[in-house]
Structure 1
């Protein structure tokens, strides 16, 4: 898990982790205060997806720039770079899924 965190890039993975903490904070706040407003949870989760996609785009841009400078690159090396660039997007989507699940749980509790 730590290896994926480092491979995804410390900047974007740290930002996404802070967003995950914000999702948990807002969910705890809603759960403890008996507040049914789950909009903040969903919004932070959606922001995590967008942040993950931005991280992927920036990673792909820098990878393609390096490929352009190197010239010929093997398909395996290209596939490895694309795989690494998807880590932030996957993390962002996982955070969004957690946010949606927490929002459903909070909304449906009695």
Structure 2
């Protein structure tokens, strides 16, 4: 819950939905292993990665806007801002890796 709030809920909640969708599609793939399902997993996980990067750039933009207004910024404040900006990207990477591992597993067990 802490990371959802730190990573900005407007990015983290959609990423959680994308994670659940990816996991659902992987589980569905073990039942009906089709090319369409694997392509959908690839697309959803790639979208999660790109959405995480979008969160990073929005977070950096907001951070730099606040830094420009402030007279002086400590290292600690800068580090916290970077951590918040990177959280959504990291979560997007994790979803992407889970999706790709799922596609690898489904491709491996596919019956020709």
With normalisation by structure 2, the TM-score equals 0.90
d(CA) in 1 for partners of 2:40 and 2:61? 31
> 1:46-99 deviations in whole A, cap 9, x for unaligned?
100100010111111111111111121112211221122100000000000000
| Mean CA deviation greater in 34-43 or 11-20 | 34-43
State whether residues 36 and 106 of structure 1, in contact with CA within 8 Å, keep that contact through their aligned partners in structure 2. no
* Partners of 1:96 and 1:34 in 2: CA distance: 19
1:34 aligns with 2:33: yes
Alignment of 1:1-110 (within 5 A): 2-37=1-36, 38-109=38-109, 110=111
Cα deviation code 1:20-46 (max 9, x no counterpart):
111112212222123244111011111
Aligned length: 109
User: 5+ unaligned residues in a row in structure 1: which ranges?
Assistant: none
Cα RMSD over matched residues? 1.2
Unaligned runs of 5+ in 2: none
